[in-house]
């Protein structure tokens, strides 16, 4: 009788064990880093999706930012060669090529012979910053080298995700993996709105300490690269560079006149405005880019 009861209990335990196993999530598929040079991190699925055809331009077409371009390329080259390199914050005026420069620098250096391992670019969305420690844990054991890229990074009121970023970059017990750097773009130098910083200063018991805690996030980036609005000559240089690269059939005089009219109607001059003008011009002329 006791043996029969014991067998029934064991059978029931086995059934419960199978039921629990069926509820467990399927094991994550192994990440094939050879599938592409660029990936997008899907935090919800815990998956790196390969990007077959990245959206980027030749680095030689990015005009008006020669100084910061050279600094970023040099930092990226050192990282690709296994030398010390910094996290980079590219901040400043809209449309001046911050994100384009990151993608183009990766493309430029990923094929250099001196790299000690394949150089991969991984985009992480702003809303997934809280999952950054998990992503770094996935990348840490890999033989590849990774540039984590977060476009338009900023934090608003009551947003605590910046604390996760601070810890992942510099403050955690494990620290940043040796094979990972973070490149982020932002319109804000300190990644936080000015009124948020001013409000903290005016209401805190110890204003200096509170503000310092907020703005210290940007200190985690060893390089701050500033992008400023371009002047007319730089804007026209961008337009001319695009037109020459794509061999658009138009005289220099007409090109400049139309480009100036386009920027006037847009109320701005920038690399983005120049590219939008070139797209419009090519479309009107029936030329593919």
pLDDT tens digits, 33-78 = 999 999 999 999 899 999 999 999 999 999 889 999 999 999 999 9
Same domain for 148 and 260, yes or no, is no
Kindly report the pTM of this predicted structure.
Answer: 0.81
Tokens of 113: 């012979």
Length of the chain, please? 289
Q: Is residue 68 part of a domain?
A: yes
- What residue numbers bound the domain in which 263 lies? 232-284
Same domain for 244 and 117, yes or no, is no
Same domain for 150 and 218, yes or no, is yes
Rounded to whole angstroms, the Cα distance separating 112 from 171 reads 32
Strands 223-227 and 145-150: unpaired
What is the DSSP code (8-state) at residue 167? I
Same domain for 178 and 240, yes or no, is no
* pLDDT tens figures, 166-218: 777 765 677 789 999 999 999 877 676 655 545 544 444 445 555 555 566 77
Same domain for 176 and 252, yes or no, is no
| Burial (CB count within 10 angstroms: exposed 0-12, middle 13-18, buried 19+), residue 183 | buried
Same domain for 271 and 137, yes or no, is no
> CATH no. for residue 163?
3.40.50.300
Could you say which of 199, 227, 255 is where a domain stops?
Answer: 227
β strands within the chain, DSSP E: 38-42, 47-51, 88-92, 119-123, 145-150, 180-186, 223-227
């Amino acid at each position: 009788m006791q043996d029969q009861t014991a067998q029934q209990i064991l059978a029931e335990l086995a059934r419960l064990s199978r039921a629990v196993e069926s509820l467990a999530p399927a094991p994550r598929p192994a990440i094939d880093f050879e599938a592409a040079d660029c990936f997008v991190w899907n935090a919800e699925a815990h998956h790196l999706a390969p990007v077959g055809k990245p959206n980027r331009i030749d680095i030689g077409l990015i005009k008006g930012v020669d100084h910061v371009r050279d600094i970023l390329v040099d930092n990226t080259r050192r990282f690709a060669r296994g030398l010390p390199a910094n996290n980079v914050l590219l901040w400043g005026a809209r449309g001046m090529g911050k994100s384009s420069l990151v993608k183009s620098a990766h493309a430029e250096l990923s094929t250099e012979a001196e790299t000690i391992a394949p150089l991969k670019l991984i985009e992480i969305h702003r809303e997934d910053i809280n999952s950054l420690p998990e992503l770094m844990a996935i990348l840490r054991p890999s033989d590849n080298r990774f540039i984590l890229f977060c476009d338009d990074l900023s934090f608003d009121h009551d947003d605590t995700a910046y604390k996760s970023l601070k810890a992942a970059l510099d403050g955690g017990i494990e620290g940043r993996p040796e094979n990972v750097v973070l490149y982020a773009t932002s319109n804000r130098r300190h990644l936080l709105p000015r009124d948020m910083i001013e409000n903290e200063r005016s209401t805190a018991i110890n204003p200096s300490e509170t503000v310092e805690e907020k703005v210290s996030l940007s200190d985690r980036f060893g390089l701050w690269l500033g992008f400023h609005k371009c002047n007319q000559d730089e804007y026209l240089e961008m337009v001319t560079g695009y037109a020459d690269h794509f061999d658009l059939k138009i005289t220099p005089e007409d090109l400049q006149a139309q480009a100036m009219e386009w920027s006037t109607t847009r109320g701005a001059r920038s690399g983005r405005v120049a590219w939008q003008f070139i797209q419009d011009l090519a479309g009107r002329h029936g030329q593919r880019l």
